[in-house]
Amino acid sequence: MRVLIIDQCSNSKSYPENSVAFDASEIDDAGLNALRNRKEAASIPARKLYAGRQQQYVNDAVDSLRANGHNVDRYFISAGFGLVAESEELPPYNVTFADMTADEIESRADTLELTERTRNVISSEPYDIVFFALGSDYYRALILPDALSAVPEETIGVTFNQEEITDQYDNVISIPARTDQAKEYGTIVVALKGIYLKNFADNLAQGSEPTSLEDVRAACLNEPTSQKDLTEF
């Protein structure tokens, strides 16, 4: 199975204490390549830089999928640098869409060409499933309807808390990931989407082959049956 995950950056970042962290004006003035070469700044692959709860669970999901023979591409939507591949090296920075107004989000996203770049990635490979593991500010930045229009009919798209939008598409679902659901899973909202992706990966590891929207929904929502559970019956 070929899977694309559009993840988001996190406020929590892991980098050396002695490294500087850049703000939006410094990023825009210098550019990524120049900042990578600054001696006072670390240069860290995006996957290792982002240390949020969601990102850690998605790391586990990606590792599990790859270990079981699935092809996975993962990108992050970064309020600092735009759409970045998980292996792309970034300097530490302090920029987040959560601190911006709706107009500021849309303006910066336009400058970073987020929607166009995401659509190009979606169209670059014949993916079976595309996950949009994003919060509301990042869906706004992406312009979700425009991104979803690039998902081929034969590809399943998965979003979270976007029912009003996904009802317009036959090949896209929205899975609830709100406070009530987080309580059911004994976690917090910001981690829940990562847990869903980990459930999906763990179910595939046990031989599940989701081929429909409801199969994918079930694989995300249901924790896999462990061998211990099986022996209890």
Measured distance CA(21)–CA(26) in Å, rounded: 10
Q: Give percent of the chain with pLDDT exceeding 70.
A: 97
| pLDDT of amino acid 172 | 98
Structure tokens at 54: 């969601």
Q: Is the confidence at residue 232, as pLDDT, over 50?
A: no
**pLDDT (0 to 100) of residue 121:** 98
Q: Average of pLDDT values for 51-71? A: 97
pLDDT higher than threshold 90 for residue 14: yes
Please check whether residue 86 is in contact with residue 59, taking contact to mean a CB–CB distance below 8 angstroms: no
For the chain, the average pLDDT equals: 94
Torsion sign over Cα 132, 136, 138, 144 = positive
- pLDDT per position as a tens digit, 176-185: 999 999 999 9
Check: CB of residue 95 under 8 Å from CB of residue 27.
yes
Q: Which residues lie below 8 Å from residue 9, measured CB to CB, with a gap of 6+? A: 46, 50, 76, 77, 78, 79, 80, 96
Span 193-211, average pLDDT: 95
Quick: pLDDT tens for 119-166.
999 999 999 999 999 999 999 999 999 999 999 999 999 999 999 999
Structural domains in the chain, CATH included, are: 2-12+46-87+97-231 (3.40.50)
Q: Residues 97-124: what's their mean pLDDT?
A: 96
Which band of pLDDT confidence, cut at 50, 70 and 90, is reported for residue 226?
Answer: low
Predicted local confidence at residue 224, as pLDDT? 87
